[in-house]
Structure 1
Amino acid sequence: MEIGGWNIGPLFPMWLQTQKMITQVDISGGGIQVGNEDAPWLMYLGSNKFSGPLPLISTTVAELDLSNNSFSKGLSHFLCEAKNGSYKLEILNLGGNYLSEEIPDCWMNWLGLTVLIMRDNNLIGGIPRSMKVLTDLRSLDFRRNRHNGPFSSSSENCTKLNKIDLAENGFVGQLPAWLGMRFPILIALILRSNKFDGEFPQELCHLKDLQILDLANNTFGRIIPRCISNFSAMVKGKKVLDDDMYLYGYYYQTPERECSGMIPLSTQLQSFDPMSLQGNKFYGLPLVVNCNLGGPVPNVEYDEDESDKNEVD
């Protein structure tokens, strides 16, 4: 049943509570603001006016969308006071609330999760170790929280991930080499606006299916390795289908610090929109003007033996 956008609030409708054959219901945007304990199904309840702590849910719920409400406090009650036995939950969207505190280390009963969205909250700390048991996870989205610490190895076992979005947090340190080895089908890696530093790991070039790479607003080194030519999926125009949103197209964005030098030949960079390389001092194709001087690109004779054709610094 899909009645999203209908103004059926502020009370949870009595007629819906008496239904026995419905297995899925979407009442998002319904203006419901009654206490969440009165709702018999906690499925697609996004964009309402629910508030207070997160409720406990039935072990039989498969998809739960509580996004864009006013839930607050921490996640311990929801995750750690779970009923005995594993939950069947596959998709959990808690984005756009006022959740706070650290994410508790209580993921052992949530083994079926494939999509986990906690963006736009006030969560702090790092990624808990027990998340390594979420081996079926495909999409991990912690964008716009207050997370910190290094890129945790907790996600190293989540080898089915298609999307990792940790943007706009306070993560620090170098990106681990295993990031390019453990996620063979990764499509989107979004780490913008953190405090990552160090050099661009060569191992990231093993991500042959990568279509979205956003490392902007960090403090990575100035070397862009030639092996980025392995990112061939970026220029094939494939449509990216994600479980919590539809992402079309692709882009590569260089970190927002001033890089310089000749753009490597025989790489996918020649296929990119010149606008994606703005704000640097590059020269060479695909640029038609010199980014540094604002004039035409110099007539450069590319020698196959030149060492600077392999990288931009």
Structure 2
Amino acid sequence: MQRLVMLRLRSNNFSGHIPIEITWLLSIRILDLANNTFSGVMPRSLANLKALTTTVVALDIKENPFRELYEYETFSSAGRYNNDSLSLVIKGQVLEYRENAIYLMSIDLSCNGLTGQIPEEIGSLLRLVNLNLSSNFLSGNIPYKIGNLQSLESLDLSNNQLSGEIPPGLSDLTSLSYLNLSYNNLSGRITSGHQLDTLKTDDPASMYIGNPGLCGHPLPNACPRDQPAQEDPARWHEDDSTQMDFHLGLTVGFLAGLWIIFCGILFKKAWRYAYFKTFDKLYDKVHVFFVVTWSETQVHRETEGVFVF
């Protein structure tokens, strides 16, 4: 089966681990095991799928399952295409493909019970166009090497238990036209820029909903460093308490000083005489000042009256 180019076993009742022998199919281009009950971890030997890497050679005409060759036709002839079609889930919808399906390069393991991490080796499948691992129990971080998949057009990792930050390399996938990372445990700032800003422009938040730890555009919750600094209520309370203590101390000190002066005047005769003597002198000075000022004002007014007459 080394020449097998499509393996589609979706919507059956297959269970157990995904056979590692599948990764020995060097010519496989479409691997569809979705909607089964496979469990366990994803095979780490995905790099063996040579048709999904840059080492693949051009597809031979006789390897296209949609082309029929008859006994009287040679492999160099055009042959004929049959009317068969292939349904594939890509970009969030079911699409029908015919003879051009052979160029799709797709892995669909969605709707199973797969656990563990997404293997780093998936970053070596440079010709992969569609990767759908949604609705499993995958955990751990999204591999940073996923940013190497420059041919990737559709990536669906929704409804898993993935954690950590979104790899910044996703913004460099210039062919990406569909992304779904919703309903995981991802955290941190949402990667933006380049291709990611062009996806789902009508509702970009739907790509990330269900991840309470994510922040930043297009989600409504801002990242901590984006929020304006807020005064700590405890600090305000502390400042109010300090200011109140200061005013209370100032009042008590003033009253204490006033009481000491009053007691000194009351019980010390010399202080009392000095106080009233000083008060009398001050009173006399103020009285003389006002009398002189008033007299000068009157004289000035009378002088002005005579001059006018």
Q: Give the structure-2-normalised TM-score.
A: 0.50
The one of 192, 195, 202 equivalent to 1:230 is: 195
Structure 2 equivalent of residue 192 of structure 1:
158
Aligned-partner SS, 1:140:
strand
Q: Distance in 2 between matches of 1:250 and 1:261?
A: 13
In 2, the alpha carbon distance for the partners of 1:185 and 1:108 equals 20
**Cα shift at 1:169:** 0.5
Larger Rg: 2
Residues 272-297 of structure 1: CA deviation (Å, up to 9, x unaligned): xxxxx5xx446xxxxxxxxxxxxxxx
The count of residues paired between Structure 1 and Structure 2 equals 174
| Counterpart residue identity of residue 196, structure 1 | L
Q: CA deviation at 1:174?
A: 0.9
Q: How does 1:71-90 map to 2 (within 5 A)?
A: 86=2, 88-90=3-5
Shift in CA distance, 90/232, structure 1 to aligned 2, threshold 3 Å: farther
The equivalent residue for 1:308 is 226
1:146 corresponds to 2:146 = no
Q: Compute the TM-score of the two structures, normalised by the length of structure 1.
A: 0.49
Q: Name the one with the larger helix percent.
A: 2
**Code of the aligned partner of 1:308:** D
Partner amino acid, structure 2, of 1:128: P
**What letter matches 1:201 in structure 2?**
P
Cα distance per residue 1:253-277 (max 9 Å; x no partner): 11313478764xxxxx6xxxxxxx5
CA RMSD in angstroms comes to: 3.0
The one-letter code sitting in structure 2 at the alignment partner of 1:257 is: N
Query: Counterpart of 1:112?
Result: 27
1:250 Cα offset (Å) = 9.4
8 Å Cα contact 1:169/1:194 also seen in 2: yes
Is residue 257 of structure 1 aligned with residue 211 of structure 2?
yes
Aligned match of 1:123:
38
CA contact (8 A) 2:187 2:212 kept: no
CA distance in structure 2 between the partners assigned to 1:281 and 1:232 by the alignment: 18
Secondary structure of the structure 2 residue equivalent to 1:189:
strand
CA distance in 2, matches of 1:113, 1:251: 35
Identity of aligned residues (%): 24
| 1:26-175 correspondence to structure 2 within 5 Å | 59=1, 86=2, 88-107=3-22, 109-137=24-52, 138-175=105-142
Q: Residues of 2 paired with 1:250 and 1:115: CA distance?
A: 29
Q: Using the alignment, how far apart are the partners of 2:166 and 2:23 within structure 1?
A: 33
Q: Secondary structure at the match of 1:209?
A: coil
Q: Distance in 2 between matches of 1:236 and 1:185?
A: 21
Cα offset, 1:106, TM superposition: 1.2
- The CA deviation string for residues 152-200 of structure 1, in whole angstroms up to 9 with x for no partner, is 12323211111111111111101121111x2001111101111100111
Q: Is the 8 A contact 1:121 1:145 kept in 2?
A: yes
Which structure has more RCO (C-alpha within 8 Å, separation ≥ 6)? Answer: 2
- 1:92, 1:113 within 8 Å by CA — same for their partners in 2? yes
